[in-house]
């Protein structure tokens, strides 16, 4: 796991049981990394089962973004 992935995972974990509803751009800004870095890290950690993302929608059905939760562990 890269340093960026560890930092992003830690940030998501710090949001608690309600999950992290920050956008990838907001996470990138808060951690001082490129949004593309967050995108790659989230994709990789989701594929590995380390995080789970759930889409959020407004009352009109438009997607607002995702909520990120800590996953059960690696899918291996």
Indicate the number of domains in the chain. 1
DSSP reduced 3-state for 64: strand
Give pLDDT tens digits for 47-65.
999 999 999 999 999 998 8
Q: Is the pLDDT of residue 39 over 90?
A: yes
Of 47, 39, 44, whose CA–CA distance to 66 is shortest?
Answer: 39
* Residue-level pLDDT at 74: 52
pLDDT confidence tier of residue 75, bands split at 50, 70 and 90: low
Give pLDDT tens digits for 15-30.
999 999 999 999 999 9
Domain annotation covers residue 12: yes
* Residue-level pLDDT at 65: 87
The span from the CA of 71 to the CA of 64, in Å, is 21
CA separation, residue 21 to residues 1, 11, 13, 14 (Å): 23, 11, 12, 12
> CATH number for the domain including 51?
1.10.10.10
Task: Give burial (CB, 10 Å; 0-12/13-18/19+) of 74.
Answer: exposed
* Residue-level pLDDT at 72: 75
């Amino acid at each position: 796991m890269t340093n960026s992935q560890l930092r992003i995972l830690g940030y998501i974990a710090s949001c608690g049981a309600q999950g992290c509803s920050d956008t990838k751009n907001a996470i990138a800004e808060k951690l001082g990394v490129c949004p593309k870095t967050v995108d790659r890290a989230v994709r990789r950690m989701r594929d590995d089962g380390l995080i789970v993302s759930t889409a959020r929608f407004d009352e009109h059905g438009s997607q607002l973004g995702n909520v990120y939760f800590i996953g059960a562990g690696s899918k291996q």
